Amino acid sequence: MIHLAAAFMLLSAQAPAPVSALPAAPPPVPVPKPPVPTAEHHQFDFWLGEWEVKDPAGSVVGHNRIESMANGFGLLENWTDTVGGSGKSVNAYDPAAKGWHQTWVGSGGAVIKFDGGIVEGKMRMEGIRQTAKGPVRDRMTWTPEINGTVRQVWDISADEGKTWKTIFEGIYSKVKSTSF
């Protein structure tokens, strides 16, 4: 019996301290909230949605899905035309530059970089690309119309913007209600 009492005393001496005697755990580190897009980041939101795109004569020329990305800090364009071409663009407002940027990549290998912003209620971006004939200035303008459509016009200039030629005009009509 003495051996049993001695063993019990030995085990009791080595038992862990009660939880209340342990040092308190450090408080949890607060997780910072992610930044919230500003009003400028939402200037191009009128382009969000699933669209059917027609030329001015009313012929369907393609479909475009514009979706919000990166927690609302950018737009992703997903273009498919009716003759087999496609492309994507990433669009974002850059607060440091106080302007919008678009990088377009087409299925034919074209990469075009645009910069710009809202001008008279329209999104307008321009970029310069090199061609076999020399530099070409591209200008894209998206106009939100009162009836809910969006008009996109693509103009080019081979003389540094002195003269412009329209090479694409599309009227975007929403095809279904989606949340982007």
CATH number for position 91: 2.40.128.20
- Mean pLDDT (whole number) for 106-130: 96
pLDDT over 90, % of the chain = 76
- Mean pLDDT (whole number) for 127-131: 93
* Cα distance between residue 24 and residue 31, in whole Å: 20
Q: Per DSSP, which regions of 70-133 are E strands?
A: 74-81, 86-94, 99-106, 111-119, 122-131
Residue 29 in domain: no
Residue 1 in domain: no
Residue 142 in domain: yes
Q: Which residues does 106 contact at the CB level (< 8 Å), separation at least 6?
A: 85, 86, 87, 112
Residue 47 in domain: yes
Q: Which residues pair with 42 in a beta bridge?
A: none
Instruction: Give me 124's structure tokens.
Output: 């307008």
Residue 107 in domain: yes
More confident: 56 or 33: 56
Residue 144 has pLDDT above 70, yes or no: yes
Predicted pLDDT of residue 7: 45
Q: What is the CB-side half-sphere exposure of residue 142 using CA atoms within 13 A?
A: 22
Q: Which residues pair with 141 in a beta bridge?
A: 124, 153
Instruction: Give me 20's structure tokens.
Output: 């209340």
Predicted pLDDT of residue 30: 85
Number of domains the chain contains: 1
The total number of residues written for the chain in this structure? 180
Residue 27 in domain: no
Range of the domain at 157: 39-176
Residue 124 in domain: yes
Residue 12 in domain: no
Q: Quick check: 124 and 143 in contact, CB under 8 A?
A: no
Predicted pLDDT of residue 6: 45
- Mean pLDDT (whole number) for 93-106: 97
pTM given for the model = 0.80
- Mean pLDDT (whole number) for 94-98: 96
